[in-house]
């Protein structure tokens, strides 16, 4: 993505849904998250399971919060089961974080395409994400945040983690294309 494309996507005016849920005590609204996204450290325990094994587990993930989307958690590569991920040829680009690469999971005879993504050389402001891995909750057998099972964000492209403490509506659901 060149600078002109970045400026276009960064400046694109986005709509808002008619009804935004009001967060209750201990909840966050994705409509209070910023654009550009906010990157923060998380000490919460996260775990991804696949094929009866723990694919990744961490208490030192990074959390990215962006308007309209549930948080995405990125784990350090050393917190991922060694040898379980193989690079995929697919690439994409985020106007804020930079060029992403994708990873396939391989556990025994089981293979899952594009189960995770990472930023090998993130753009300015997101350098801490370098090589950390974000997992799609809908492509593994289970993702957990402090022991609570995560609900996947709708849509094939999005990898947000929906938990009871996060309220929307969320980008990715039908009718959200302009958000």
How far apart are alpha carbons 178 and 15 in whole angstroms? 6
The pLDDT of 102-131, averaged and rounded, is 95
> Over 90: is that where the pLDDT of 4 sits?
no
| Beta carbons of 114 and 136 less than 8 angstroms apart | yes
Q: What pLDDT, on the 0 to 100 scale, is given for residue 31?
A: 97
Q: What pLDDT, on the 0 to 100 scale, is given for residue 144?
A: 98
The pLDDT of 18-46, averaged and rounded, is 96
Q: What pLDDT, on the 0 to 100 scale, is given for residue 143?
A: 97
pLDDT confidence tier of residue 151, bands split at 50, 70 and 90:
very high
Verdict on whether the full-model pTM lies above 0.75? yes
Residue 20 CA, distance from chain mean position? 21
State whether the Cα torsion 78-161-62-37 is positive or negative: positive
Write down the architecture of domain 25-167 according to CATH.
Beta Complex (2.170)
């Amino acid at each position: 993505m060149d600078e002109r494309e970045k400026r276009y996507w960064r400046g694109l005016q986005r709509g808002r849904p008619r009804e935004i849920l009001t967060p209750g005590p201990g909840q966050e609204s994705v409509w209070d998250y910023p654009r550009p996204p906010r990157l923060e450290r998380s000490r919460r325990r996260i775990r991804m399971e696949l094929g009866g094994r723990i694919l990744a587990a961490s208490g030192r993930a990074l959390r990215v919060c962006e308007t309209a989307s549930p948080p995405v958690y990125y784990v350090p590569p050393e917190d991922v089961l060694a040898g379980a991920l193989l690079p995929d040829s697919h690439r994409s680009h985020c106007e804020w974080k930079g060029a992403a690469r994708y990873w396939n999971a391989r556990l025994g005879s089981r293979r899952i395409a594009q189960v995770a993504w990472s930023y090998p050389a993130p753009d300015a402001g997101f350098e801490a994400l370098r090589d950390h891995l974000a997992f799609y909750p809908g492509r593994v057998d289970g993702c957990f945040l402090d022991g609570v099972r995560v609900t996947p964000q709708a849509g094939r492209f999005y990898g947000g983690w929906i938990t009871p403490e996060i309220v929307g509506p969320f980008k990715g659901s039908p009718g959200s294309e302009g958000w």
